[in-house]
Amino acid sequence: MGSFNKQNITEVSSMAASDELGSLTRAFSGLGVDENALITILGKWHPEQRQSFRKGSRDFFVEDERQFERWDDRHILQLRHEFLRLKDAIVLWTMHPWERDARLLKESLYKGPQYNVLVEIACTRSSEELLGARRAYHSLFDHSIEEDVAFHVHGPERKLLVGLLSSYRYEGPKVNAEVAKFEAKALSESASKKSLIEDEELVRILSTRSKPHLKAIYKHYKEISGNYLDEVLDTSLRYDVDEITKEAVTRVIVTRADADMKQIKEEYHNKYGVNLSKRIEDVANGNYRDFLLTLIARGD
């Protein structure tokens, strides 16, 4: 009986260790680190258990030539990013929106440049918000955003990006349907001859027309050409995305929580058939996940 009990205890301990290993693996993966899981499990482990974890976690540790298990350098960098993700989200959330956008714009230029961030800020902010971001950029960096974009971007997209970021659009509801249809046809004809990004007419339209007018152009363009002008950004919430794409999750949710989160959630659900909150619950971890869910709920 004693032997049987000892065997049972061993099996239970092995199962518990396996469960904890799985919990740690999940905590170290995806978007954000599950801080509570780490504290609960690692805080009670003995040195032998930590050694067992290192030996059994070849996704995170490698055998050093001097015969000890060491962290894979790639995963150390990943974990540092994951631990900082909550802090970055909180810092962005507490900033004045003008400063937040100015710093995001500056960072996007030095990290690439990251055209998606430049376009996102230029096209989702109101005219007053974008003007405020340009003012903050002046104060923070002693340059204009237009000046820095022109310096860092060297391809044919330079003119479009400068135009988008310097725009001050009409924001009323009126749309001239005939003009929108004419411009959609002009873009469709240009697209068959050369890259749209190099088209002067595209630059003029995208950097000056109101958002309702652009929506009308989008509709007519689809009817005329059968193609869409936009891109799908669902990849931001996949498990295997790169670090830059992961940052988009924090940026979009934090910056749009007080603006159009309800619309974002509705469109996300219509396009992918799943609630944005549920998707975040599935792919994010710990306090970072809880903070994002709190911000998403502001759209309810």
| Single-letter amino acid, residue 155 | G
More confident residue, 231 or 271: 271
Closest CA to 42 of 60, 24, 58, 19: 24
Place of tokens 């152009």: 217
Domain assignments of the chain as residue spans, ordered by start = 2-59, 86-168, 173-230, 234-297
**Token code pair at residue 172:** 């009323």
Digit-coded pLDDT (tens) for 68-107: 888 888 888 878 888 888 999 999 999 999 999 999 999 9
pLDDT reported for residue 210: 96
Position 109 scores a pLDDT of 95
- pLDDT one-digit tens code per residue, 111-151: 889 998 999 999 999 999 999 999 999 999 999 999 999 99
Residues in the chain: 300
193-202, 226-235, 277-286: least confident range:
226-235
**pLDDT at residue 55 is higher than 80:** yes
2-59 CATH choice from 3.40.50, 1.10.3470, 3.30.40, 1.10.220:
1.10.220
Distance, CA of 254 to CA of 123 (rounded, Å): 16
Contact 118, 161 (CB under 8 A): yes
Mean per-residue pLDDT of the chain: 85
Model confidence at 289: pLDDT above 50: yes
Amino acid letter, residue 128: E
- CATH 3.10.580.10 assigned to 86-168: no
pLDDT tier at 3 (50, 70, 90 boundaries)? very low
Judge whether 283 and 241 are in contact, CB under 8 Å: no
173-230: CATH topology? Annexin V; domain 1 (1.10.220)
Q: Which fold has domain 234-297?
A: Annexin V; domain 1 (1.10.220)
> CATH topology of 173-230 equal to that of 234-297?
yes
CB 158: neighbour CB atoms within 10 A? 15
For the stretch 16-49, pLDDT in tens is: 566 777 777 777 766 888 888 888 887 888 888 8
62 backbone dihedrals φ, ψ, rounded to 5°: -125, 155
Each residue's pLDDT tens digit, 243-287: 777 888 999 999 999 999 999 999 999 988 999 999 999 888 889
The average pLDDT across 212-235 equals 76
Paired sense of beta strands 61-63 and 69-71, if any:
antiparallel
The residue among 282, 280, 299 whose CA lies nearest residue 89 is: 280
> What letter would DSSP give residue 274?
S
Q: What is the pLDDT of residue 231?
A: 39
